[in-house]
Structure 1
Amino acid sequence: MTDTMPDRGTAASLLPRRISRRAFMIGAAAGSLAVVGGCSRSPGAIPVTPRAEAIELVEAKRPHTGRTVRATLTAQANTVDLGGPTARTLSYGAELPGPLVRANVGDQLEVTVTNGLDTPTSLHWHGLALRNDMDGAAPATPDIGSGSQFTYRFSVPHSGTYWAHPHTPLDTDRGLYIPVIVDDPRERADYDAEWIVVLDDWTDGIGASPQQIFDQLRSPSRNGMDHMPGMHSMPGMTASSDSLIGPDGGDVTYPYHLINGRIPAAASTFSAKPGQRIRLRIINAGADTAYRVALAGHTMTITHTDGFAVRPVQAEAVLVGMGERYDAIVTAGDGVFALVASAEGKDGLARAVLSTAAGRQPDPHLRPAELTGRVVTVDDVTADPSVDLGELSAPIALPATLTGGMARYDWGINGRRYPDVEPLTIHEGQHAILRFTNQTMMWHPMHLHGHTFQVLNANGTRGPRKDTVIVKPMSTVDVAVVADNPGTWLVHCHNTYHMDAGMMTHLDYA
C-alpha cells in the first residue's frame, strides 16, 4: 500500500479530501487499521441452520470489492484527558473518540475486539445493515467475555456516516465509541475537506457514575424527581418553551458536554482555508442528550442523515438525537468561528472551533444567533430519489407502543420490559409499516438494528432514510421497513437509561 498514514487524531481533525477518499492505515496504542488485498467472506464457524443459510445468501448478494480492512481494539479502563479535567473511564485508548474505522462500500471489515474489562462487552455497528450474526448485540452476536477476543467480519453494504459502541448495560454512557465512515468511490467529490464531529454528554469519572445514575433513577425513594442529582448542579433543567423535543430534555444533568472528547474551555481547533467546502459529519454519541448544532457565521446545507442522501436543505442549525447522524456542507468563512452543540432542553453546550485565519478564540459560553434561526429536524428533510425505498407492497403493521414513565422508571415497548417481550415478527421479503406510538411524556430516539427505514411523514410525504428517529411525547411516527436482512434484530430507545430500564424488543424473521 502506498498511501501515507494520517495522524492518529483523524477522527478529530480536518481531513484533506484527497486523503479521505483513499485507502489508508491508522495506528494507535488502543487500535489499528490496515487495508489488504483479498476478501474472505466467511465469518468463521457458523451453525448450519435455515437462518444461518439465509444470512449467508444475503451476504453473498452484498457488494464485495475483494479488499479487507482490518482493525484491532482493546476495551479497557483508561484515564482520558477532556482538555484539563481527567476522567477514569472505559475506552479504547487515552483519547476520545476511539480510533476511526474507515472503508469503502463492498470492503470487508475484520475488527478484532479484545475485552480487557471485568465484565462482558460487545461492539455494535450502529446503522450498518450488516449480517445479523455480526451485529454486535445479543442475542444475534454473543457478548465477549472478560479476557476474551472476538473478530467481527462482514461486508459493508452502504456508504455514509456511522459509529460503533457496546451493547452491554450502561456502557454507552462511557468512552467506548468510535466513528465509522464508509466511502463510495463513485460519489462525486463536491467538497474539499471533512470534519468528523462526535458529540457526547459526559459524567463518568467526573460526576456520578452511570451505575449510580441508573440506581438513583430506579430508586423507590426518588419520588419521581425529574433529573438525576449528584453531578454539578445546573439550574433550569425543564425544557424551554421552544424546545424541539417536548417538555423534558432528558433524565440526567451532565457535568460536561464534549465535541471530540474536549470540554468547551479547551475546544479542539480545526484548520481550513477561507472558501473551502467542508463536509461536516455529525455523530451524537450521547446517552441522554439531544443537541442543536450550529456553526457561528455560517449556513449549512444538510445533505445526509443516518448515512443516506437527502434532498439538500438550507439550515442555520440542525437537531441531532442520540444515535442520529447528520452530514452538512459549509463554505468556510474568513476568521475564527465556534461550532456549538447546545444541549436541547437542558443547560450546557459543547464547542469546537473552525479557524481559517488569525483571530481571537470565541468565548467558550458563546451561543451563536444561528441556534435560534432555522433549525432543521427530521420533518424538514426528504430522501434523495436515489435512496427512496419505493412504494410498499401489501405492508403489514408492526406496532411499537412506547410505554412507562419517570415515576417508576419502567420504560417498555407494547407494555413489556426487555427481556420479557413479545417480538415483532416478519417474513423475509415482506414490507411493513413500523409504527412508534409514544404514550409517555418523554421523547425517545428509536433505533432499529440491521435495517434502514424510511420515515413516512404525517402530511403524507415521504421523509428520509434513517435508522434512528426522534419520537416526541404523545406522538406517532410511522416508518417503512423492507424485510431484506434475516435474523433477530433489536428495536430500542437510544436513551441509555430508558433502554436498560426495558425499552427494547426484537424484530424477528419468522
Structure 2
Amino acid sequence: MPDLTNPSHPITRRRLLAAGLGTAALATLAGCTSPPPRLISPTSSAVTTAEEARRSTGRVVSATLNAQPMQLDLAGKMANTWAFGSTPAPTIRVSAGDTVLAQVTNQLPDPTSVHWHGVALRNDMDGVPPLTQKAIAPDNSFAYKFIAEHPGTYWFHPHVGTQLDRGLYGALIVEDPHDPLRYDEEWVVVLDDWLDGVTATPDQVLKQLSKGMASMGMDGMLMRMGNMLMGTNSPLLGGDTGDVYYPEYLINGRPPADPETFTAKPGSRIRIRFINAGGDTAFRVALGGHALTITHTDGYPVEPKDVDSVLLGMGERYDVIVTAGDGVFPLVASAEGKDAAGFALLRTAAGTAPAPTTSIPELVSSRVGTADQLATASAVRLRSKPVDRTLTMKLSGDMSSYDWAINNRRFDIKKPLQDALRVRKGERVRLKLVNDTKMWHPMHLHGHTYQHPNGGPRKDTSIVLPGKTLQVEFDADNPGQWLSHCHNIYHGESGMMTVVAYER
C-alpha cells in the first residue's frame, strides 16, 4: 500500500483504487487514525498545578530590571550597549523555595524578554517569545513571578534575537539554607566576550555570518575577516572553537586594562561561582598559585574534584572552592583557542598586582576540569528507572554555509512547534545529542536538569564535541513547552533550536 501521508506520493484516484480504498474505506481510515496529540500550553492548569506543588517558603523577593541603552566604560573606551542598568546587572539573591518577583521594564527600541537560565520554573515565566509569552514591547513592562525551588548558581538574559550578546545579563543565586559547604567569602564571576559598541552590534555580526564563512582556517593560524575569526583550535573542544572576533574579554563587565579586584584574608575559603555569559567563546579559567576544588556544576553538587583550571562553555556554571594564599593573584579566563583572555585580581595582602599579560602555569596544566570527569553527589543523583522515551537531536550544519539545524530542520520562530519533540509527564526521558558537525556545541535544555551517563553530573547545559554523541536522562516533571538549543547565540539564531513539548 502506498504511504498516503508522504507528500512525495500525492493521493490520486488511481492510487486510491489501487489501494482498494473507496469513499467508505477512506472514512474508516480516518476514524482509525489518531488525531495529533494536543500539547500542554504554557498557561494551562497543568503548569499552575506543577508550580503549586513546588516547595515554597512563602517569602517573596522583589527585583526591578530596567532594560535600557547605556554606555559601558571599557578602561576609558566607551561602548554603546543595552543593559539592566549595569553589566552585569546587580545579582539577584534568594533562598531555595523563595518566590522571585521581577518587574521588567523595557526602555529599549526593540521588544525583549528575560529567560532565567537553568531554573526549573513554571513554563509561562521562562521568557521565550513567542513560545511561552509575548515579547515585552518598548515602553511596556512584564512581571516574572516563580518559585525558585532548587538552590544553585543561575543567571538571566534575554531570549530575543541576538540580545544575549549585549550587556543584558546578571546572576541569580539561589542559596541553600542547609548547604553543607563551608566557606568564608563568595565571589560571583561572570565571564563574557565583548564586541557591542566597539566593532559591531550582534545583529550586524549575525548578518555577516549568515552569508556563510569560506573554509579558510589554516592549521591554528588565527585570521580575522571583519567580525569573523578563523583558524581557532583547541584539542579540548575537538577543533574549531568559535566563529566571531571579539576585541574584549570581560570579567564582571571589566576588561584586563581595568580589572576587578576581590579582597579577602589569607587562608580564607572562597566560593567562586563562575558563569559563562559569552556569545561564542568557551573559557578556560584559572587562579594563579591556587588549585580549584569543583563543588557544583549548573547549580547541582558533585563529588569534589581538584583541578588547576575549569573549562566553561557558553551558558555553563561551575562553583569552586579555593583557599586564598598570601599576596596578589591573577584570575585569568583564557578565551579557548582565541589567543586572548579576561583578567581579574584576588588580593589578600599589599603588593604589586601582576600584569594582565602574566602567564600562569595553571592554564597549561593537564588538570582541566570538564563535565565528563565529574560524579554527581549522591543526594541529587537521579534514581534508577527504566527509560520510557528516547528523543534524538541530531546537530547539523557547518561554518561555510552557516545553516545550523536540529534533525535537519532549521528552527522557525514563527512556527516553533512544527518539529517539537514530544514527552508526557512522568516519563523518564533519554536525550540523545548527536553532533554531526565539525564544531562543538553547548546544548541547553530549558526547564529541566538532566544527568550525564554513568553517574555523571546533573546539568542543563553541556558541551557536545564534534563527531560525538552525548546521551543524558531527565524526568519529565515540569509540564509545558520548553526550548532546547545551542547556546552559541549565532548557531541558535541560525537555526540550531527545537522544542520539547508535553502532550496532554
Shorter-normalised TM-score: what interval?
Answer: 0.7 to 0.9
Report the counterpart of residue 252 of structure 1 in structure 2.
244
Q: Describe the shift of the 1:228–1:162 C-alpha distance in structure 2 as closer, same or farther (beyond 3 A).
A: farther
Q: 1:448 corresponds to which residue? A: 445
**Counterpart mapping for 1:312-323 below 5 A:** 312-323=304-315
Instruction: Decide whether aligned partners of structure 1 residues 431 and 187 sit closer, same or farther in structure 2, where only a CA change above 3 A counts.
Output: same
Would the alpha carbon gap of residues 466 and 223 (structure 1) be closer, same or farther in structure 2, given more than 3 Å must change?
same
Aligned length: 453
Q: In the aligned structure 2, how far is the partner of 1:209 from the partner of 1:310?
A: 38
CA RMSD of aligned residues (A): 1.6
Pairwise CA distance, 1:237 = 4.0
Partner of 2:348: 356
Give the whole-Å Cα distance in 1 for the aligned partners of 2:388 and 2:308.
37
Q: Which residue of 2 aligns with 1:161?
A: 153
CA drift of 1:83 comes to: 2.7
Kindly indicate whether the alpha-carbon contact (under 8 Å) linking 2:111 and 2:136 is maintained by their aligned counterparts in 1. yes
1:120-144 C-alpha deviation (Å, 9 max, x unpaired):
1000000000000000112112211
Give structure 2 stretches of 5+ with no counterpart: 1-39, 218-222
Looking at structure 1, the residues matched to 133 and 75 of structure 2 have their Cα atoms a distance apart, in angstroms, of 36
Q: 1:371 aligns with which of 356, 363, 378?
A: 363
* Deviation sequence 1:210-240 (CA, Å, 0-9, x none): 11211111115x5345676325x98x84214
The AA in structure 2 aligned to 1:440 is T
Show the counterpart of 1:116. Answer: 107
What are the within-5 Å matches in structure 2 for residues 102-181 of structure 1?
102-138=93-129, 139-181=131-173
Q: Distance in 1 between matches of 2:258 and 2:388?
A: 51
- Tell me which residue corresponds to 1:385: 378
1:429 aligns with 2:426: yes
**1:247 shift after superposition:** 1.1
- Aligned mate of 2:87, from 96, 109, 113: 96
Residues 116/50 of structure 1: CA separation in 2 closer, same or farther (3 Å cut): closer
> How far did 1:440 drift?
0.2
- Superposition deviation, residue 367 in structure 1: 2.7
1:43 paired residue number: none
Matched residue, 2:71: 79
> 8 Å contact 1:100–1:178 — kept in the other structure?
yes
Q: Contact (CA 8 Å) 1:213, 1:228: kept in 2 or not? A: no
Structure 1: unaligned runs, 5 residues or longer: 1-47
Give the direction of change, closer, same or farther, for the CA distance of 1:431–1:175 in structure 2 (3 Å limit): same
2:199 to 195, 207, 218: 207
Residue 55 in structure 1 maps to residue 47 in structure 2: yes
Change (3 A) 1:160 1:224: same
Partner SS state of residue 140, structure 1: coil
1:198, 1:356 → 2: CA distance? 21
Post-superposition offset of 1:194? 0.3
1:360 match: secondary structure: coil
Corresponding letter in the other structure for 1:351: F
With normalisation by structure 1, the TM-score equals 0.86
How far apart, in 2, do the equivalents of 1:267 and 1:90 lie?
A: 21
Contact 1:208 1:230 in 2 (8 A): no
CA distance in 2, matches of 1:50, 1:229: 43
Contact 2:125 2:146 in 1 (8 A): yes
> Which digits, 9 at most, give the CA deviation of each residue in 1:432-485, with x for residues without a partner?
1100000000100000000000011xxxx2210000000000100011010000
SS at match of 1:163: strand
Report the AA paired with residue 232 of structure 2. T
What corresponds to 1:496 in structure 2? Answer: 489
Give 1:52 deviation, angstroms. Answer: 1.5
Out of 473, 477, 484, the position equivalent to 1:484 is: 477
**In the aligned structure 1, how far is the partner of 2:354 from the partner of 2:194?**
22
Match in the other structure for 1:417: 410
Does the 8 Å contact 1:258/1:350 carry over to 2? yes
8 A contact 1:217–1:228 mirrored in 2 = no
- Matches of residues 164-313 of structure 1 in structure 2 within 5 Å? 164-188=156-180, 190-219=182-211, 222-225=213-216, 229-230=225-226, 237-240=231-234, 243-313=235-305
Aligned partners of 1:212 and 1:304: how far apart in 2?
36
Q: 1:238 to 1:141 in 2, by over 3 A?
A: same
Alpha-carbon separation, structure 1, partners of 2:363 and 2:303? 22
- What one-letter code is carried by the residue in structure 2 that aligns with 1:433? R
Structure 2 equivalent of residue 462 of structure 1: 455
SS in 2 for 1:180: strand
Following superposition, the deviation at residue 111 of structure 1 comes to 0.3
Q: Which residue of 299, 313, 321 maps to 1:329? A: 321
In structure 2, give the amino acid aligned to 1:422: D
Contact 1:51 1:486 in 2 (8 A): no
Distance 2:319 2:489 in 1: 24
Return the alpha-carbon distance in structure 1 between the equivalents of residues 477 and 114 of structure 2: 23
Name the TM-score, length of structure 2 as normaliser: 0.87
How much does 1:165 deviate?
0.1
Aligned to 1:505: 498
Distance in 2 (CA, whole Å) between partners of 1:91 and 1:349 is: 22
Does structure 1 conserve the Cα–Cα contact (< 8 Å) formed by 2:387 and 2:430?
no
**Structure label with greater radius of gyration:** 2
Q: 2:332 matched to 1:340? A: yes
Change (3 A) 1:106 1:488: same
Q: Which residue of 1 aligns with 2:394?
A: 401
Contact 1:237/1:347 (8 A) holds in 2: no
Output the CA distance in 2 between the equivalents of 1:394 and 1:445.
24
Match of 1:18 in 2: none
Counterpart residue type for residue 450 of structure 1? G
Aligned identity (percent) is 51
Aligned-residue offset at 1:426: 0.2
